[in-house]
Amino acid sequence: MSMNREGRPTRPEAADGAPATWTGNRALMLEEPLIFELGEEDGCGVDIEDIGSSGSRLSGLERNRPIGLPGLSEPQAVRHYTRLSRQNYAIDLGLFPLGSCTMKHNPRLCEKVARMPGFADIHPLQPVDTVQGALELIARLGGWLVKLTGMHSVAMSPKAGAHGELCGLLAIRAALEARGDAREVILVPESAHGTNPATAAFVGYRVESIPATDRGRVDFDALKARLGPDVAAVMITNPNTCGLFEPEMAEISRAVHDAGGLVYCDGANFNAIVGRVRPGDLGIDAMHINLHKTFSTPHGGGGPGSGPVVFSEALTPFAPLPFVEKQGDHFALVEEETAGEHHGSSFGRMVAFHGQMGMFTRALAYIMSHGADGLRQVSEDAVLNANYILRRLDDLLDAPFGDSGPCMHEALFSDKGFAGGLTTLDLAKGLIDEGFHPMTMYFPLVVHGAMLIEPTETESKAALDQFIGAVRSVAERAKAGDQSLKAAPVHAPRRRLDETLAARKPVLVWKDPPRAEAAE
């Protein structure tokens, strides 16, 4: 459907038998055109004087064609983006049970402190004497992360979880190369996040998959059998993506080390164990921490994330530059020039500057707000909430590993038992109509039709009960083969979208329609 200049759909639709409206809007449900349909080339929402480019030193490179950027005045822009925002689901609106994503409440204090000019308005290349507070903040957050994980050191610069994985694997590869040990294979359990094999391949390793047991854990026997002089490392997620703790983690680490390899832990699920288990006690060599998960920096519709990596003593010399080091009362920034003397083994630089400072500020505010006592309560409540959901739904929904004991911070179900060709996707879309964001669908890959539910600790019992009621209602329809679910969602801003069409004929940018006068 296209819009006319008034932002009105050319083909107004009626829904639920309600009469069509002239605008196509329905009360608070407002359609919004693109800025390219709303804006004008001379529209502008800022006051800047027009001084042209006379006396220019541009070497004859002046633009001679229009760019094609529409502008809006401030009131128009505020309305455009406010209207767009209302087409989004968000944690602020309700429970957001995406498994493995840890969608918890984002404290507004964290937003406030990140905007203090002393953090938000400083340049990454200012002389270090003028940014001592910022360096101290990075060092302090790093100190918390090291203590909470029981590891030896931390690299703060990785920009996101997958970037942290890259950091960990680069350190592992550098450490192996330093001892003249060219190994080629990385073992990854089949339940792993897609980023794990993608990262290993990116660093130049061959990826081999390790199966899971029927209790949802890494098959330790299969793993042991595969270890050998060609295995550089194993990448293990713990708690794993089935929402279960790997009870043999310490033994796995020992076996890998005995075979000359190293252990990478995907820390995406750290929220389940923060304050109760230190990965360092389980023989891990490197682990990334998604600050946007466990430490609640906002997901922002897909980033920015932040993925600091904690290292064992063995990997510490290979950590990336730059990093902050306390020297007496002074915080120093160790970069290429200063690294030479003490950190010559560093594998190098991963990003232009020092990492996601804006996320560090938020994460530290979150951590200080909870403290050592509160963080322990975080993991306890996260695990309790997930087990509550598991046990209130496992009579109705198939829970593939429900018999093997309690889960950690997320509960795994499948669509086994749905009738009439209905699947996980239909239940998910049915939940949208009930006012919830769906759970993670079809992941982990080891369970057919998987549904992974992670409530987090910031949900009240009342919110959980309402969510459980909604899932039960939709699941009963799915088990009865209620075909109306195939049409869900019917109450969302859009019905199901044609993803095949989007991929077959990609339209990735707006193209101006031919002007009417040009056609004449």
Partner 1 sequence: MRYLPLADSDRQEMLRVVGAGSIDELFVDVPEAARLQDKIEGLPDHLSEMGVERELARLSRRNLVAGDVPFFLGCGAYKHHIPASVDHLIQRGEFLTSYTPYQPEIAQGTLQALFEFQTQVARLYGCDVANASMYDGSTACWEAIGMARRITRRGKAILSSGLHPHYVSVAKTMARFTGDVLDTALPVLNAWTDTERLLNALDGETSCVVVQYPDIFGRIGDLSELAERAHGKGALLIAVVTEPVALGLIRSPGEMGADIVVGEGQSIGVGLNFGGPYVGLFATRDKYVRQMPGRLAGETVDAEGKRGFVLTLSTREQHIRREKATSNICTNSGLCALAFSIHMTLLGETGLRRLAGVNHARASAAAERLAAVPGIELVNPAFFNEFTLRLPREARPVVRSMAEKGVLGGVSLGRLYPGVEALERGLVVAVTETSTAEDVEALAAALEEALA
Footprint on residues 201-260 left by partner 1 (CB under 8 A): 201-204, 207, 244-247, 249-250
Tokens of 226: 């595969």
Please say which residue, 206 or 520, places its beta carbon nearer to partner 1: 206
Distances (CA, A) of 318 to 168, 311, 343: 10, 9, 8
For residue 457 the two structure tokens come to 């600790």
In sequence order, what are the residues at sequence separation of 6 or more whose Cβ sits closer than 8 angstroms to the Cβ of residue 283? 249, 250, 252, 253, 254, 257, 263
b vs e for 282-301, b when ≥16 Cβ sit within 10 Å of the residue's Cβ?
bbbbbbbbbbbbbbbbbbee
Comparing CB distances to partner 1, the nearer of 35 and 475 is 35
CB of 62 to partner 1, least distance (A): 7
Kindly tell me which of 51 and 520 has the beta carbon lying closer to partner 1: 51
| Residue selected from 5, 22, 28, 92 as contacting partner 1 according to rule CB under 8 A | 92
- Of the candidates 275, 241, 334, 250, the residue with the CA atom closest to the CA atom of residue 145: 275
Query: E strands of 436-491, at which residues?
Result: 440-441, 451-453
Rule CB under 8 A: which of 283-312 touch partner 1? 292, 298-306
Q: Which stretch binds partner 1 (CB under 8 A): 110-118, 228-236, 252-260, 311-319?
A: 110-118
- Is 116 a residue that touches partner 1 (CB under 8 A)? yes
Which positions ≥6 away from 439 have C-beta within 8 Å?
Answer: 97, 98, 99, 428, 431, 451, 452, 453, 454
Q: Does 121 bind partner 1 (CB under 8 A)?
A: yes
User: Which among 320, 327, 290 has a CA at the least distance from the CA of 306?
Assistant: 290
The distance of closest approach from Cβ of residue 216 to partner 1 in the complex, given in angstroms and rounded to an integer, is: 11
* DSSP alpha helix (H) spans, 150-270: 161-178, 195-202, 220-226, 249-258
Given the rule CB under 8 A, which of 225-233, 310-318, 361-369, 469-477 is the region that contacts partner 1? 361-369
Among 93, 178, 225, 480, binds partner 1 (CB under 8 A): 93
The number of beta carbons lying within 10 Å of the beta carbon of residue 106 is: 20
Q: Could you say which residues in the range 399-418 bind partner 1, by CB under 8 A?
A: 405-406, 408
Q: Which of 18, 27, 28, 51 binds partner 1 (CB under 8 A)?
A: 51
Among residues 183 and 292, whose Cβ is nearest to partner 1?
Answer: 292
Q: Does 480 bind partner 1 (CB under 8 A)?
A: no
Per-residue burial over 236-254, b = 16 or more CB atoms within 10 Å of its CB, e = otherwise: bbbbbbbbbbbeebeebbe
Pick the closer one to partner 1 by CB: 60 or 514: 60
Taking CB under 8 A as the rule, does residue 94 contact partner 1?
no
Candidates 145, 162, 233, 422: give the one binding partner 1 (CB under 8 A).
162
Dist. CA 4–CA 26, nearest whole Å: 17
Is there binding between residue 198 and partner 1 (CB under 8 A)?
yes
Task: Examine residue 191 and tell whether it contacts partner 1 (CB under 8 A).
Answer: no
If the CB atoms of residues 261 and 307 are measured against partner 1, the closer one turns out to be 307
Query: Which candidate, 472, 471, 459, 462, places its Cα nearest to that of 435?
Result: 471
Q: Which of 87, 473, 483, 484 binds partner 1 (CB under 8 A)?
A: 87
Size, binding site for partner 1 by CB under 8 A: 209
Instruction: Return the range that interacts with partner 1 (CB under 8 A); candidates 44-52, 223-231, 253-261, 308-316.
Output: 44-52
Of 175, 361, 418, 424, which one interacts with partner 1 (CB under 8 A)?
361
How far apart (Å, rounded) are the C-alpha atoms in residues 464 and 302?
25
Q: What's the closest the beta carbon of residue 222 comes to partner 1, in angstroms?
A: 19
Contacts (CB under 8 A) with partner 1, residues 410-469: 428-429, 432, 437-438, 443, 457-461, 463
334-353 mask for partner 1 (x: CB under 8 A)?
Answer: -xxx---------xxxxxxx
Instruction: Tell the smallest beta-carbon distance from residue 99 to partner 1 (Å).
Output: 12
Nearer to partner 1, 488 or 520 (CB): 488
Beta-strand relationship, 262-266 and 231-237: parallel
| C-alpha torsion 106→110→115→120, nearest 10 | -100
Q: Which helix (H) or strand (E) holds 370?
A: helix 357-393
Lookup: tokens for 333: 């920034």
Listed residue (480, 269, 285, 238) closest to 386, CA to CA: 269
The one segment of 226-234, 259-267, 416-424, 505-513 that binds partner 1 by CB under 8 A? 505-513
- Could you say whether residue 146 binds partner 1 (CB under 8 A)? no
Q: Which stretch binds partner 1 (CB under 8 A): 64-72, 228-236, 254-262, 310-318?
A: 64-72
| Contact present, 235 and 196 (Cβ < 8 Å) | yes
Work out whether 326 is an interface residue with partner 1 (CB under 8 A): no
Name residues contacting partner 1, limited to 366-385 (CB under 8 A): 368-374, 376-378, 380-381, 383-385
Assess contact for 401 and 421: CB atoms under 8 A. no
Closest among 479, 412, 421 to 451, alpha carbons compared = 412
Stretch that binds partner 1, among 38-46, 256-264, 413-421, 471-479 (CB under 8 A): 38-46
